[in-house]
Copies of this chain bind each other. A is one copy, B any other.
Amino acid sequence: MARPFTDLDAGRANLLELVEHLIRKRGAASVTLSELAAEAGMSPSNIYRFFESKEALFEAVAERWFAPKVAIMEEAVASDLAIADKLTAFFGRRFVMMRDDYLAEPELFKSYLELGDDHQETVRGYIDLGDHFLAMIVAQAMEKGHFPGLTIDRTVSLINLMMVPFINPEMMIELMHSVNEEKLAQAVNTILCGLRASSEEGSESITPDVRPALRAV
């Protein structure tokens, strides 16, 4: 994500600091080019030198918010940790970062989530990037015999579903009384030990066909 450091980049970085200050003071709705120009004491035409549209401004805000999370994922994928540690680092370090950010400034954190809700396509790009990194770890785990009988995509989808309270910030907030690092590590362990195809040939699953269990008992 690093770009060559120019005066323009330095100006953008300063303005993004100012955006956070604005959000803290006046909430997510304050993220507009005119509010930012006013706060920076710039003319509207001057602000366009840094961000050519409201959407470009939001994309920069999102990049700033996601950058440390992306770095955590990149580092986890590239690390030579054992698979269980790698997955725990991948999910756990992001979880700890989000939780601590939330606890330090709950209103600011919620304002960022609100901004994300209003720009779902940009956020979707980062979610897809996360899935891409997770797929790389899943492929490494499969080489060691984990997730027998499952495809990479299916495994990524099931892991994402089972880790929702540690990944999804809204859910993390709602379940704040229950989620912690130790439970996260136990969930990762559960997935690594237990996730496999249900009825593929050669699997040793104990789960029978799902249909009888879903009929009235």
Contacts and interface: CB of A to CB of B under 8 A. Distances in A.
SS of A interface (majority)? helix
A208 interface: yes
Nearest to A159: B190
A211 to B, nearest CB: 8
Interface size on A, as a range, is 35 or more
Contacts of A163: 162
Contact of A192 (B183, B207, B213): B207
**Copy total for this chain:** 2
B194 A210 contact: no
A207 to B, nearest CB: 4
A84 B208 contact: yes
Interface string A154-177: 000110111111101001000100
B206 A192 contact: yes
A217 interface: yes
25 contacts: A75-B217, A79-B217, A84-B206, A84-B207, A84-B208, A85-B213, A86-B213, A89-B213, A93-B216, A157-B178, A157-B183, A158-B186, A161-B175, A161-B183, A162-B187, A171-B171, A181-B214, A185-B198, A185-B210, A186-B197, A189-B198, A189-B206, A190-B194, A190-B195, A192-B194
4 residue pairs, one from A and one from B, having the closest CB atoms: A194-B194, A193-B194, A189-B207, A185-B210
